[in-house]
Amino acid sequence: MSRKSVSLVGLVLLCCHASLTEQRLQGIFKDPKEPIDERVKDLLGKMNLEEKVGQMTQIERKNASAEVLKSYFIGSVLSGGGSTPKVNATVKEWVDMVNGMQQASLSTRLGIPMIYGIDAVHGHNNVMNATIFPRNVGLGVTRDPQLLKEIGAATALEVRATGIPYAFAPCIAVCRDPRWGRCYESYSEDHRIVQQLTEIINGLQGEAKTDMKGMPYVNGKTKVAGSSKHYVGDGGTVKGINENNTIVDDSALYGMHMAAYVNSVAKGIATIMASYSSINGVKMHAHKQLLTDYHKGKLGFKGFIISDWEGIDRITSPAHSNYSYSIQASINAGIDMVMVPYNYTEFYDGLIDLVKKNAIPMSRIDDAVSRILRVKFAMGLFENPLGDYSLINEVGSQKHRELARQAVRKSLVLLKNGKPGNAPILPLPKNAGKIVVAGSHANNLGYQCGGWTIEWQGVSGNNWTAGTTILDGIKATVDKRTKVVYKKKPSDTYSSKGKMDYGIVVVGEVPYAETNGDSQNLTIPAPGPAVIENVCKETKCVVIIVSGRPVVIEPYVDKIDALVAAWLPGSEGQGQAGSYLV
């Protein structure tokens, strides 16, 4: 046989090999008509260890270059609090960023799309001009599951409009101590109310027709994968200290703190986020009994469990002091995807090394990756991996703002209305001659929204997003002949200097998030008490408390004619005014 013939045969064999390789890579997992678990099984069989570990890795967007995404086969990217494409990024710039990252993931050997996640915990709160809904503590007051479902749907639509398919929400903690800095993330101290309001999941993900029996469910391109958090018992820590130990018996653990997770699984929640806190001394990120045996076993949860931000580091004290142990303990306990925003190379290399040493069985890796792929298939990410630019105008839409105003109105709590022996003062007449509006929170969108808004710890002022302050709402509601005067910090002689018909004082807590919000005294910060004193001593006054939890108000109650708990109402202060005025 001639050399030319041999070369021709070799070329034919090479082409056949390439064709067979392409067929193997296409396979069942590319076919949306195939059952999800068959697609998972097919794709998992094509993956090597490095690709599997990459799927278990979630990194911060600041590190998500095309090279990193492709070299480490990264399974997920997130925005931490305040992490945006740029300052005041437009919706289109969000979509451009996410789609650019997705293109890099799709160019890998198997083309597995990454899933981008973000904390959309009271609307799409990282994004400029998005609708910011009241915090959970206020929504719990509404006792309205249908309203929560509508808020979930609106939030999902705004998140999807920025190209993001995964929201770290809802928080279904049961806050048992208001000193806890995350109490505003809880719907109630009553687990039955928290259970009712898991209806928000049907808004976020879409409503499954039957009990999902643990299968993740996301219905289409306008819905997002959700994440019930923080599993479990985070609202019951000793003294309300964030990330602390929850000392609890089985009755309270399973009857109270676990209750809403049962509802979440029945509704097809896609993911669960582990808590930084401990149960009876065992860190949740290393709690195999609760992560695997109970949640995946008894409850039958088939989505994936994700760590919190650098959550596995905190298994040891001090944090990150024995990282190899933390990787081993968390993965073997049942964590499937690990949020390693910055330290991803150490995690990636460390997990591969532990698998090769048989410290973590390959079966555990395959289980974790199967769960991650199951969620990606369930949400249609393989068929529709890129953000849809046609949804851009949904962010901050008037329809969503009207919904937020409805939620504000339903979340208000009237604590006092009239001094003993006097007639009720609320609602105030719209045609009053002069109303003085005072206090640090009357004209401050940032204070209305609280933490986890634009920045992790929240912001102050009115120049970072769209919305209406409480002052704006009052001005828009009163009669055009009524004079509204705003004094942020009136002096102690202000009320005696000029006649006013009514005073409206708006004071409360300044923004905080997580541990920064822990408080052992629950007092209103200065100058709030002084403003109440200065306005209310000679004028009929309404005091509105803007806070993430109950705060100490008893010392001032006798001076106040009417008292309203407004919680953290979000961007739509207009929703409050109609409740104070006829």
Give the pLDDT of residue 211: 92
Is residue 199 annotated as part of the catalytic site, yes or no? no
- pLDDT, tens digit, 9 for 90 and up, residues 255-292: 999 999 999 999 999 999 999 999 999 999 999 999 99
d(CA 256, CA 250): 9
Catalytic residue among 367, 455, 509, 514: 514
**Residues constituting the chain:** 582
Q: Is the pLDDT of residue 122 over 70?
A: yes
Helix axes 145-161, 398-411, angle to 10 degrees: 150
Averaged pLDDT for residues 41-52: 98
Comparing 2-16, 358-372, 436-450, 451-465, the range with the smallest average pLDDT is 2-16
- Residues 161 and 126 sit within 8 Å (Cβ to Cβ): no
Q: Work out the pLDDT band at 27, boundaries 50, 70, 90.
A: confident
Which H/E stretch holds residue 326? helix 323-333
Is residue 243 annotated as part of the catalytic site, yes or no? no
- pLDDT, tens digit, 9 for 90 and up, residues 225-242: 999 999 999 999 999 999
How far is the CA of 223 from the CAs of 160, 200, 445, in angstroms?
Answer: 7, 12, 28
User: Which residue's entry shows tokens 């929240």?
Assistant: 458
β pairing state of 271-274 and 278-279: unpaired
Q: Is the pLDDT of residue 466 over 90?
A: yes
Give the pLDDT of residue 149: 98
Six token digits for residue 188:
């109630």
Catalytic residue among 150, 185, 308, 367: 308
Q: Work out the pLDDT band at 495, boundaries 50, 70, 90.
A: low
Q: Residue 546 CB: number of other CB atoms within 10 A?
A: 30
For residue 408, whether the previous peptide bond is cis, meaning omega lies within 30 degrees of 0, is: no
Work out the angle at residue 400's Cα, subtended by the Cα atoms of residues 396 and 403, and round it to the nearest 5 degrees: 145
Kindly report the CATH number that applies to the domain delimited by 412-576.
Answer: 3.40.50.1700
Q: Work out the pLDDT band at 25, boundaries 50, 70, 90.
A: low
- pLDDT, tens digit, 9 for 90 and up, residues 407-460: 999 999 999 999 999 999 999 999 999 999 999 999 999 999 999 999 999 999
What single-letter DSSP state applies at residue 181? Answer: T
Range(s) of the chain covered by CATH 3.40.50.1700: 412-576
User: Which residue's entry shows tokens 């997130």?
Assistant: 78
Give the pLDDT of residue 162: 98
Q: Is the pLDDT of residue 579 over 50?
A: yes
Six token digits for residue 312:
């596995």
Beta strands in 7-158 (DSSP E): 57-60, 76-79, 115-118
Give the pLDDT of residue 86: 96
Mean residue pLDDT across the chain: 95
Q: Is the pLDDT of residue 73 over 70?
A: yes
Six token digits for residue 504:
């409206």
The structure's pTM equals 0.95
CATH number, domain 117-379, options 2.60.40.650, 3.90.550.10, 3.20.20.300, 3.50.30.30: 3.20.20.300
Q: Is the pLDDT of residue 387 over 90?
A: yes
Averaged pLDDT for residues 528-546: 95
- Residues 478 and 430 sit within 8 Å (Cβ to Cβ): yes
Range(s) of the chain covered by CATH 3.20.20.300: 117-379
Beta strands in 22-155 (DSSP E): 57-60, 76-79, 115-118
d(CA 205, CA 192): 22
Top pLDDT among 5 and 497 is at: 497
Q: Is the pLDDT of residue 153 over 90?
A: yes
d(CA 575, CA 582): 14
Minimal CA–CA distance to 270: which of 331, 323, 224, 310? 224
